[in-house]
Structure 1
């Protein structure tokens, strides 16, 4: 399931970034007075202040890219909240039952039980049982490799969240640069006296995209740290149980 989600998120982000790059041509300065006014059209229409929607619109294409990254981050966060549960991945009762039955040599009963459950512990045990006819060394190697693979898979599940937390401020910074370019173009190409409202349009865009990038990045970074703690907790449980399971599998 996660591979499908990861693929969909990759495609989604690629499309969003592609659209953003293709539309960067829209920042080419319009030198006519009427065209320059469109930079701050929403500002001039707002007599009593600027609404949230008008603020977002002033951010231009960059805000669309940041919105796409925000949606992707939200999908990853929801998925991880649903799946990164220690009671689901390393259930205590199930794990202790497996240890108990392996201690009495009930390999077939353990195999049957693990095949009915889908979690990290069952995957490790089944990997060891599969290699049991080939000797204890291969059993240990198979179980250790399986445990390592399962934990690495958990780290991969939050890697995109870290990427979004890193990239979003840079995208916002790009918007800041583009906004300042617009502001300086107003100064450079206005034949008459520069209107403060026109300058405000480019500067507002610069500030809005910076804020947008941080709004996306900060929650993503905080939740990445939270999920990192969850994975470390799960990893410790896997290490504890796998050590006992490997010893029992080697004896029986």
Structure 2
């Protein structure tokens, strides 16, 4: 493996760095975007029961805010529930934008890696071909070994770039889709709570 990396030339260093960063982002996002962490089950039901029993004090709201992404959005609305439906909805929308920003953390970096690693591989191809043609100019085409160095750089860096880019792109698209699904669900749950608190929907038991 080390010989292959060495044969790829200096462009293998940024490709290896990109692969390490991409792997770290993917692992971190899988851990952070667990459904149980973002959307705890039956949270709206629990919040409604606390609101019905007049138990939503500052301590409970603070705990709810720090519990999950959905809890952060619900707590923003509940903290402003006394100002009416419109203010409550605006507060939830503002909190939602903060949550989306947090859920999409590092995804731009992952998308950038998916975009630049094939270009780095292509650059390696160009560098390898330049080396091969220089070898031809200097020593002719009689000895195939003369061309081996340039050709190996061209092929290895291209393969390495695609090897990093393909999974990075797949996971970038997957996480973007997952965040979109979470956001739609959180909006629906927050609106459900608003309707319940203002009597526009039957309470959850």
Distance 2:74 2:141 in 1: 77
Residue 188 of structure 1: CA displacement? 1.8
What residue ranges of structure 2 are gaps of 5+ in the alignment? 200-205
Ranges of 4+ aligned residues in structure 1 off by more than 4 Å:
none
Deviation at 1:107, TM superposition (A): 5.8
How many angstroms apart in 1 are the aligned matches of 2:55 and 2:187? 21
Please point out which of 48, 66, 78 is paired with 2:27.
78
Q: In structure 2, what is the Cα distance between the partners aligned to 1:221 and 1:193?
A: 40
6, 9, 16: which one pairs with 1:67? Answer: 16
**How many pairs are equivalent?**
198
Write the deviation string for residues 143-200 of structure 1: whole angstroms up to 9, x where unpaired. 122123312432234222111111111111111101101111111233x665211211
CA distance in 1, matches of 2:63, 2:103: 22
Deviations 1:63-119 (A, max 9, x none): 0110000000011011011110112111113232113333x262625x533422421
Match of 2:202 in 1: none
Q: Residues 110-154 of structure 1: CA distance to partner in whole angstroms, max 9, x if unpaired? A: x53342242122211221233345443222111122123312432
Q: Among residues 71, 84, 96, which one is paired with 1:147 in the alignment?
A: 96
Could you tell me which of 63, 81, 88 is aligned with 1:116?
63
Structure 1 residue 174 corresponds to structure 2 residue 123:
yes
Q: Tell me the TM-score normalised to structure 1 length.
A: 0.71
The answer on whether the counterparts of 1:139 and 1:249 sit within 8 Å (CA) in structure 2 is no
Q: Distance in 2 between matches of 1:212 and 1:148?
A: 37
Q: CA deviation at 1:56?
A: 1.0
How far has the Cα of 1:208 moved from its partner?
0.4
Q: Following the alignment from structure 1 to structure 2, what is the Cα–Cα distance between the partners of residues 241 and 105? A: 20
Report if the CA contact (8 A) 1:69-1:216 is conserved: yes
Q: Is the 8 A contact 1:115 1:122 kept in 2?
A: no
Deviating more after overlay: 156-165 vs 200-209:
156-165
Summarize deviations over 1:35-84 as a string: whole Å, max 9, x none.
xxxxxxxxxxxxxxxxx221110111110110000000011011011110
Structural RMSD (CA): 2.3
